Chain A
Amino acid sequence: MLRSLPLLSLLVLSEPAMAAEIWVTNEKDDTISVIDIASLEVVRTIPTGERPRGITFSKDFSRVYICASDSDTVQVMDPETGKILHDLPSGEDPEQFVLHPNDRHLYIANEDDAVTTVVDTETRSVIAQINVGIEPEGMAVSPDGKIAITTSETTNMAHWIDTETRQLFANTLVDSRPRHAEFTAGGSELWVSSEIGGTITVFDTGTQTEKGKIEFEVQGVHPDRVQPVGFEFTADEKTAFVALGPSNHVAVVNAETLEVEDYILVGRRVWHMAFSPDKSLLFTTNGVSGDVTVIDVAKREAIKSIKVGRFPWGAALRP
């Protein structure tokens, strides 16, 4: 019994080298909090440019891209050392972005400029700027890479971009203040959340027409405060978890019937989220309470809250 202990501690010790992490941008601290998924603790805090919001990793996780909104740049960081390798030209006030499946082109929403900027991360140059509606924010790209989406908060639209010609080919209205977009069902559906409208609109990708709408109702919370923002799908894409902003709840949605099955109480003003590698845990950023809630996906309950920096915004997995 005693003899097996050293072996055990060896195992434990060897784990951190391959431990998965959740990277959280802290909008009002100009930092990233790195949460170790095994211990559920913040293990590193890394300084960034001003007002970091969107965050995403390259395909091989050798680089992390960060929207430093008030520095008007996208920073490229080495996740091992936390050093900024270089900045990318991003257009003014980059808020959120999405990396094309080609691992090379970043589609960036320039919130103050009503523009979507396409940046080549290899040549570090802007290859296109596309005029979209006022206050672009939500960004998505289809799994086949052919369509990019920008949602605009004040124009209340999803703008459909042909990634080959880099032109808009459709503009579809959604409810007030669209915030986030994701493709699902193998790319055949596009979901767009509307913060002030309080809904998620589901589009058929082929025809760009609305095929469904999800509404939310949290007991004891006025409907005006139920404001869907970020959302993510489980591995089988049968369930979506939806952050409901100042209602302080995450909704669990059946992605086939579009019915809400559950509401999970989390921290204040829940915004975006990221899964652990096996998608058994979900990490939500809670802007006002300055923490991250860890949700047990199978049990659909919050199991821990982890204090991070001020106004955590984005979250990304580093496996």
Chain B
Amino acid sequence: MQRRNLGTCLAGLVLAAQAALADVNVPAVYLRQEVDLPPTLSNLDPVPGDLGEIGARLGLADNMTTGSFLGQSYALEVISIPVGGDLIASARNALEQSPFLILDAPASDQLTVADLPEAQSALLFNASSADMNLRGEDCRSNLFHTLPSYQMRSDALMQFARFKKWESLPLVAGTHPQDKAFAEALRQSAAKFGLRIEGEKSWVFDADMRRNASQEVPLFTQDFGDYDILLIADELHDFGRYIAYNTWQPRPVAGSEGLVPTAWAPVVEQWGAAQLQSRFHDLAARPMHPQDYAAWAAMRSIGEAVTRTNSDDPAVLRAFILSEKFELAGFKGRPLSFRSWNGQLRQPIPLVTPRALVAQAPLEGYLHQRNELDTLGLDEPESACEAFR
């Protein structure tokens, strides 16, 4: 009797599933504008050619598994535009195929894509740029952000510095736009948490530090006097690696090197993260980087919204993603969600060394009336983003 009931149920469910779910197809495009990276002093850590892309592929695999039980299908195409290639034509081509784009491109190129007439009803995810203006005055209502901003990372570091009572923090910054942007974020975060950036220097050496870091860096850091921790803004990882242990004062370094606030790192293993790391490693044969995590989170956000709404309509998905019902299990110990005022994915920020997770922001004691994760990055009152209002 029981057995027959099961069989009937099964048939009923399958029929219902086919009737209700047959039409949900979710293609997505990973759109990459290739860029020339300036040379760095060391070649120890080359930027993987498939950075970000494999994260999206892992998100696709996760979505497809869920979809297989619900009759929903997913696909991913990768379009890579060479340096000097036709971004607009490629973006139009991508938007013809899908309203769901994951963007791996500089901030200005992302705005170009977001402003195309064809993109107005699309759902775009920035998985590569930490630029603060993209989340502020230059925000676009069709552009979401899964990579944390520079300021989310710098706030995380300053929360930790405050907690450790490291109050005097000199800064060494590189000259690339990314270095300057992170340095500016560090300054703003220091002010936000009542800390002092005391002494700033720009890294303009053109010597090869592998040979003479031990001679140059002590002198370079001597006139900082006494301090608690040395901040380094070197987002392209050019000179920063040669500063630790060579400073005049025996003090730790943090920022782009040393203690690093980041979206993701191989040392994140709690909260089930070990499973995500091992799934990624099986697919990529290399560790998972922050951009891989951001692309994974973008694909999974689309997937989570499709699962819960049973829709492939970008307008329906956008509304759901911005609603209180949306929550993404992102292996960082708390549900992740999107900020309704600028489309940024709220997320804890791990503070890591190459060998261990040191802490994870928000740190205990940083309270917020809405969500403790909003102590990291641009909060609603200070947001200059109008497009989401």
B327, A156: Cβ atoms under 8 Å? Answer: no
- Chain B 363-389: CB-based contact to A (< 8 A → 1; otherwise 0): 000000001110000000000000000
B5 at the interface (CB under 8 A from A): yes
Given the contacts A112-B279, A133-B65, A135-B275, A169 and B329 also touching, CB distance less than 8 Å: no
At the interface with chain B, which of A3-11, A16-24, A170-178?
A: A170-178
Q: Which of B6-14, B107-115, B204-212 contacts A (4 or more CB under 8 A)?
A: B6-14
The answer, yes or no, to whether A157 is at the interface (CB within 8 Å) is yes
Q: Does A279 contact B (CB under 8 A)?
A: no
Q: Are B328 and A156 in contact (CB under 8 A)?
A: no
Select B69's contact among A159, A197, A222, beta carbons within 8 Å: A159
Distance, CA A114 to CA B308, complexed state (A): 21
Contact partners of A155 in chain B: CB under 8 A? 62, 65-66, 69
Q: Are A177 and B65 in contact (CB under 8 A)?
A: no
- Distance between Cα atoms of A198 and B329 in the complex (Å): 11
Nearest-neighbour CB distance to chain B for A158, whole angstroms, equals: 11
> Bound state CA distance, A144 and B333, in angstroms?
36
CB–CB B334/A224 < 8 A: yes
B-facing mask of A150-180, CB < 8 A → 1, else 0?
A: 0001111101001010001111010111000
Q: Considering only CB atoms, which chain A residue lies closest to B66 in the complex? A: A155
Chain B window 327-339, contacts with chain A (Cβ cutoff 8 Å), 1 for yes, 0 for no: 1110001110000
Complex Cα–Cα for A157 and B13 (A): 15
Chain A residues with CB under 8 A of B307: 156, 173
Contacts of B5 in A (CB 8 A): 206
CB distance from A131 to the nearest CB of B (A): 8
Q: Closest A-chain residue to B310, C-beta based?
A: A173
Q: Which of B6, B65, B272, B334 contacts A146 (CB 8 A)?
A: B6
**Bound-complex Cα distance A151 to B6 (A):** 19
Contact of B6 among A133, A169, A224 (CB under 8 A): A169
How far is it, in angstroms, between the C-alpha of A127 and the C-alpha of B197 when the chains are bound?
Answer: 65
Partner of A171 from the list B3, B9, B69, B272 (CB cut-off 8 Å) is: B69
B284 within 8 A of A: no
The reply to whether A197 and B335 contact each other, CB–CB distance below 8 Å, is yes
B371 pairs with A224, CB closer than 8 A: yes
Is A111 interfacial (CB-CB < 8 Å)?
A: yes
Instruction: Provide the main secondary structure of the chain B interface.
Output: helix
In angstroms, how far is the closest chain A Cβ from the Cβ of B4? 12
On chain B, the number of residues with a Cβ less than 8 Å from chain A's Cβ atoms is: 27
Decide if A153 touches B329 in the complex (CB within 8 Å): yes
Q: Given A153-B272, A164-B3, is A170 in contact with B66 using a C-beta cutoff of 8 Å?
A: no
Contact A146 B3 (CB under 8 A): yes
Q: Within 8 Å CB of B335, what residues of A?
A: 176, 196-198, 224
Residue B43, interface by CB 8 Å: no
Evaluate contact between A171 and B70: CB separation under 8 angstroms.
yes
Chain B neighbourhood of A154, CB < 8 A: 62, 65-66, 275, 329
> Is B278 engaged at the interface, CB distance under 8 Å to the other chain?
yes
Distance in angstroms between the alpha carbons of A147 and B9 in the assembled complex: 13
The contact string, 1 if C-beta is below 8 Å from chain A, for chain B 4-42, is 011001100100000000000000000000000000000
Contact yes or no, B65 A114, CB < 8 A: yes
List residues of chain B with CB within 8 A of the CB of A198.
Answer: 335
Q: Fill in one digit per residue for A132-150: 1 if any B CB lies within 8 Å of its CB, else 0.
A: 0111000000001011000
A residues less than 8 Å from B278 (CB atoms)? 112
Report Cα–Cα, A246/B348, bound state, in Å: 15
Return A269 CB to nearest CB of chain B, in Å: 10
Question: Does A257 sit within 8 A of B, measured CB to CB?
Answer: no
The docked-state distance in angstroms from the alpha carbon of A102 to that of B140 is: 60
Asked if A207 CB lies within 8 Å of chain B CBs, one says: yes
Across the interface, name the chain A residue whose C-beta is closest to B10: A169
B357 to chain A minimum Cβ distance, whole angstroms, is 14
B10 touches A170 (CB 8 A): yes
Shortest beta-carbon distance, B367 to chain A, in Å?
8
Interface string of B272-299 (1 = CB under 8 A from A): 1001001100000000000000000000
Residue of B nearest to A164 (CB): B3
Instruction: Verify if A208 is at the interface (C-beta below 8 Å from B).
Output: yes
A225 CB within 8 Å of chain B = yes
Query: When the two chains form their complex, are residues A157 and B66 in contact, meaning their CB atoms are under 8 A apart?
Result: yes
**Are B13's CB and A177's CB within 8 A?**
no
Measured CB to CB, the nearest residue on chain A to B5 is: A206
Q: How far is the CB of A163 from chain B (nearest CB, A)?
A: 10
**A-side contacts of B272, CB under 8 Å:** 135, 153, 177
Q: A114-B65, A153-B329, A177-B272 are in contact. List 17 more A-B contacts (CB 8 A).
A: A133-B65, A133-B69, A146-B2, A146-B3, A146-B6, A155-B65, A157-B69, A159-B69, A168-B69, A169-B9, A175-B327, A195-B329, A196-B329, A198-B335, A208-B13, A222-B372, A224-B335
**A-B CB contact pairs (8 Å), 18 listed:** A114-B65, A134-B65, A135-B272, A146-B2, A153-B329, A155-B66, A156-B307, A156-B329, A157-B66, A170-B9, A173-B307, A196-B327, A196-B329, A196-B334, A208-B13, A224-B335, A224-B371, A225-B334
- A residues bordering B, Cβ < 8 Å? 111-112, 114, 133-135, 144, 146-147, 153-157, 159, 162, 164, 168-171, 173, 175-177, 195-198, 206-208, 222, 224-225, 246
